[in-house]
Amino acid sequence: MNPFREDLVSRSRPEPCSIVIFGATGDLTHRKLVPALYNLAVDGELPTGVRIIGFARRDKSDEEFRSGLEELNKKVSRSGHDDEVWSHLAENIFYHKSEFNDADGYKSLAERLDQIDEERGGKGNRLFYIASAPEFFDDILIQLKNAGLNEAKDGCWARVIVEKPFGTDLATAKHLNEVVNSTFHESATYRIDHYLGKETAQNLMVLRFANAIFEPLWNSRYISHMQITCAENLGMEGGRGGYYEKSGALRDMVQNHLLQLLSLVAMEPPTDLSADGVRDEKVKVIRSLRQWDTPEKVAENVVRAQYTAGHVDGKEVLGYRQEDRVSPESDTEAYVAVRLLIDTWRWSGVPFYIRMGKQLPKKSTEISVHFKDAPNVLFGALTGGVPGGNVLVIRIQPDEGISLRMVSKIPGTSLRLEPVKMDFHYSTSFGKGSPEAYERLLLDAIAGDATLFARRDEVEEAWRFIDHIEHAWHQSDNPPPMAEYVAGSWGPKEADDLIKKDGHDWRRL
């Protein structure tokens, strides 16, 4: 639910509904979606009368489906496993067996949904969650339409959540958008980006627009540059290599999650907090990105790399090209660093740097805002100054929080300066952990609030930017080279050079 003033946001209360999950025997449903619904139930936030209908092709009874979900919920739920809450939820879980392209399966789904509503007093609201591999997205949407399940009936609503990846380039994203919008109205379409559901990502707008002290400084006059880092200490575990080979770091993380974070940190204040009010401003940021539209510009502003064998968390790990389901000649990047410029009045001349990599020393995602140095006229003369004295760090995960680095006098009789840190940790300030991103996002979709979901134009603008880079890498005559870094290190030397060219360094995490 939108945390802001109720009278300023257009959304309704979460209502009873049937949530149909396509791909319900899969990993996402078991590890994320059902545990998220369970946690909402534990916190008393799930409206009574929410039903979950799993749709997949293998044979399973309702009971078998429930017990498989329960087994995993016990392992992964952030609030443990309460038998009473679970059994109440489980009474409302059903399984529907069908192939994604079988028209009869959707006809019988429609009948089953009506029957569940009739027996259990449901209203007929429907939330369709497409949690399948992307090659099935079209089929599922078209079959929903053919079965009339896309239409809101008798004062009820029908909405669709579409999982990532939302296309693999601009053309495929546009095609998918055509299919989605010919099936569901844009206002009933929820393109999920789980980074937008993370607590600190949501807090970005609050930090910027509910505190009078930051916004006056939030521009090229006071900010030297910003960095967005997403470090992961995993490689291609669990057979992910096959998927990753077709994706790579740029498409897997930058096109969606990291450009979404960039748009939140760089957008103008929205005129209101409605879904479109916020998304209108976010899309302007992505639309204003200077395009790296030649191989030369890509070589100058983007670094791609693969890891070689090394050690992460004290364990020996393989190089990217030796990973399961990865080609020994792979030209897929497991690391990317991009220098971005946003051609707006506010950000003229301020570089933004995004880096993302697998098999780095630790898992950490953060945004750092580096302020310009104070004039060097007073303390500089005595001490040499403290360059990079003011940095605001927004920790997205783990240890969610915000810190501000400032320069202080070291106690003593002489004038010596050193940076110190003011630190806010969610866990200690609020005394409780944050909900999982999927909890918040599922509840928002049930409540009809699309603020934290990507709109069609945002997705397409992001692909427009990414496509030029992918084109230079894979389709040009002089592709920029692939760099290397040792697994467990902080990335390739070329990425350090990229930021050093502007006189900056990556923040040490």
Ligand X SMILES: O=C1O[C@H](COP(=O)(O)O)[C@@H](O)[C@H](O)[C@H]1O
Active site residues per annotation:
257
Amino acid, res. 187: S
363 belongs to an annotated ligand binding site = yes
- Is 60 marked within a binding site? no
Whether 146 and 104 have beta carbons less than 8 Å apart is answered as: no
Number of H helices, E strands in the chain: 17, 17
Query: Does residue 409 have a known ligand-binding role?
Result: no
Closer residue to ligand X, CB minimum distance, 2 or 365:
365
> Is 57 assigned a ligand-binding role in the annotation?
yes
For the chain, the helix, strand and coil percentages under 3-state DSSP, each to the nearest 5 = 40, 20, 40
Q: Please tell me the distance from the alpha carbon of residue 330 to that of residue 328, in angstroms, as a whole number.
A: 6
Q: Is 186 in the site for ligand NDP (CB under 6 A)?
A: no
Binding mask 222-241 for ligand X (x = CB under 6 A): ----------x---------
Q: In a 10 Å sphere around its CB, with 0-12 CB exposed, 13-18 middle and 19+ buried, how is residue 335 labelled?
A: buried
- Kindly state whether residue 189 participates in binding ligand NDP, applying the rule CB under 6 A: no
Question: H or E stretch including 208?
Answer: helix 199-209
**SS3 for 259?**
helix
Q: Is 137 annotated as a binding residue?
A: no
Please check if 194 is assigned to a binding site.
Answer: yes
Burial of 354: CB neighbours in 10 Å, binned 0-12, 13-18, 19+: buried
Query: Per-residue string for binding with ligand NDP, 73-112, x by CB under 6 A?
Result: --------------------------xx------------
Interface residue with ligand X, options 70, 252, 323, 439 (CB under 6 A): 252
439 in contact with ligand X (CB under 6 A): no
277 touches ligand NDP by CB under 6 A? no
Which residue of 25, 92, 143, 227 would you call a contact of ligand NDP, by CB under 6 A?
A: 25
Residues in 143-202 that interact with ligand X by CB under 6 A: 194
CA distance 32 to 384: 51
Per DSSP, 252 falls in state: I
Residue among 124, 8, 108, 76 nearest 439 (CA): 76
String of contacts with ligand NDP for each residue 37-76, x by CB under 6 A:
-------------------xxx------------------
Residues that bind ligand NDP (CB under 6 A): 23-28, 31-32, 56-58, 99-100, 131-134, 163-165
Binding residues: 57, 99-100, 164, 194, 198, 232, 252, 358, 363
Provide the binding-site residues for ligand X, judged by CB under 6 A. 194, 232, 252-253, 365
